[in-house]
Amino acid sequence: MAGDWQRAAAVTLILGWSMASAGCTQTETVAGPVAESAVPAKFLTDPELFAPGAKVFKYRCAACHSMDANKSQFFGPHLDGLIQRKIAGTPGYTFTEEVQQLSIVWTTPVLLEWLERPQQMVADMCMPFTGLPKQADREALLAYIYQASEAK
Ligand code: HEC
């Protein structure tokens, strides 16, 4: 397990890279809160999507995110219980200051749209990740996040 200073250095490196390459100097944000009914979207509870979603998570997210709320944070906040949480609402993680000011709620439709082109929707969030172009990958990933959170 890397020491705190090592982790901080790695984060600085990653965020520095992202700022240089992902246009983090923009300040425009195009999304607002979206209301969602209490009933989860049908695909979220589809057990068939768990395995493919876990695969997407492993290859595209797990380098920086954990699904375990009790596990120390990686480069990014843990994503346990993400769906329906307000942006930057994960306890114990210090988000970029601009991101803390946003009023986005991570509802299913917001996440589906954001995951397609993260930088375009939330320019201030310096997450060095370019997006999941396939709708099927995004739905499977969200189903995995939903079901892995529910299981706890
Ligand atoms: C290279 C590292 C990296 C990768 C890969 C990555 N993220 Fe992130 N993510 C971050 C960082 C760093 C933050 C915090 C950004 C900030 O504070 O501005 C973040 C923030 C987030 C947030 C906001 C959390 C909250 O509580 O508001 C979500 C949601 C998220 N990431 C989802 C994902 C998903 C889903 C994937 C995979 C498809 C992914 N990320 C891939 C580094 C990464």
Q: pLDDT per residue over 82-105, tens digit each?
A: 999 999 998 888 898 888 999 999
Give 30 Cα–ligand 1 centroid separation in angstroms. 18
**pTM over cut 0.75:** yes
- Cα gap 103→109, rounded to integer Å: 15
Q: Which mutation among 12, 17, 57, 64 tests ligand 1's pocket best, with the greatest number of atoms within 8 A of CB?
A: 64
103-139 confidence digits (pLDDT tens) = 999 999 999 999 998 877 677 776 778 899 999 999 9
Assign 122 to helix, strand or coil. Answer: strand
- Cα radius of gyration rounded to whole Å, the chain: 15
Q: Tokens 């210090």 correspond to what residue?
A: 94
Give 38 Cα–ligand 1 centroid separation in angstroms. 25
Which DSSP string corresponds to 28-89? -B--------SSPPGGGG-GGGHHHHHHHHHHHTTTT--S-TTSPP-SS---TT-TTPBTT-
CATH 3.30.300.20 fits 4-150, yes or no: no
With a 6 Å cutoff on the Cβ, whether 83 touches ligand 1 is no
